[in-house]
Amino acid sequence: MSTVAASELRGEEQPQFWSYLPLLVGLAALAVPTTITLGEQVWSNEAGAHGPIVLLTGLWLIWRKHDELRRTARPGAGWLTALMLLVALPLYVFGRAYDFISLEAAGLYGVGVAVMHAKFGLQAMRTTWFPLLYLAFLIPPPGWLMDGITAPLKLFVSYVTTAGLQLFGVPVYREGVTLMIAQYQLLVEDACSGMNSMTGLIAISLFYIYLLRNASWRYSLFLVCLVIPIAVIANIIRVATLVLLTYFFGDAVAQGFLHMAAGLLLFTSALLLVFLVDHLMSYVLRRREKAA
């Protein structure tokens, strides 16, 4: 009897799989070239170095929910799936044709959500709201948006770095986002503004909060807000370190391996600082609950 039930179940699942196979093949056909482009244009730079980590951990989070998704799965409304595809596919095609990786990645993300809706439905997708939100960090922000945000941050980092080093007698001067020390002129680029670190830090912090803390959205929002000043402070220290390396050891040393090493070290330090703040806040909240 159980054998008959199992065979009937396999018979029911097999047609469902084959019915969604064209959607899955189409999604894979779109995802492969976009992933290659992301690897070449975005993930190979410091600004997008978190991309492969987000992709692998995001897919793993969805895989963890697989059993729950299957229990609550109901095929999504066809009209809503079609509407999603009508929006996402032109976005993908336009971004792919004109080399707008932000639009291309956003269109691919929309197609992925549409395929998931067709297979599992809205009710089941609510159980994976965080992995879907987390995977949205794979969409690189457009350049004009990053330029508008990083411009004031670069000025702030340049000002604070110059003022701090001058307090210790370092002969550094600033003109806009250009720092002048001895015979060298150093330009504070987008990578040193803090925004690049913020994107990766926020993504990894959200993953940490969701997986290990399972915290409320209020606490999660509070911790994410702390990431912003932590990233800016870390990049101020990074710029100051590079200025000092240039002053004492020359431009070749500062712009070589140590330039990337300083970025990786300070990103790791900032991430550890986020974890430390989380542990301290959790300890304080537990003490308050016990006292209450």
CA–CA separation, 231 vs 193, rounded Å?
Answer: 9
Say whether both 237 and 184 belong to one domain: yes
Give residue 279's domain range: 144-291
Say whether both 154 and 100 belong to one domain: no
Say whether both 106 and 131 belong to one domain: yes
Say whether both 109 and 186 belong to one domain: no
Q: Which residues are catalytic?
A: 192, 238
Say whether both 90 and 154 belong to one domain: no
Strand order in the sheet with 178-181: 172-175, 178-181, 184-187
Final residue before a domain boundary, out of 135, 158, 174? 135
Q: For the chain, 292 residues long, give each residue's pLDDT as a single digit of tens.
A: 444 444 444 444 444 555 667 777 888 899 999 999 999 888 887 777 788 989 999 999 999 888 888 888 888 888 999 999 999 999 999 999 999 999 999 999 999 999 889 888 888 888 888 899 899 999 988 877 777 777 788 888 889 999 999 998 888 988 888 888 888 888 776 555 556 667 777 888 888 888 876 666 777 778 778 888 888 888 888 888 888 888 888 777 666 656 667 667 777 777 888 888 888 887 887 788 777 7
Say whether both 112 and 46 belong to one domain: yes
Q: What is the pTM of this model?
A: 0.76
Say whether both 125 and 234 belong to one domain: no
Say whether both 107 and 232 belong to one domain: no
Final residue before a domain boundary, out of 111, 135, 159? 135
- Chain centroid to CA 176: how far? 29
Tabulate helix, strand, coil % of the chain (nearest 5): 85, 5, 15
CA–CA separation, 267 vs 191, rounded Å?
Answer: 12
Final residue before a domain boundary, out of 117, 135, 153? 135
DSSP code, position 250? -
Q: Report pLDDT digits (tens) over 150-198.
A: 778 888 888 999 999 999 888 898 888 888 888 888 877 655 555 666 7
Tally of structural domains, the chain: 2
Say whether both 122 and 94 belong to one domain: yes
Say whether both 161 and 224 belong to one domain: yes
Nearest CA-CA partner of 233 in 279, 199, 267: 267
What is the three-class DSSP state of 185? strand
Say whether both 110 and 200 belong to one domain: no
Say whether both 23 and 89 belong to one domain: yes
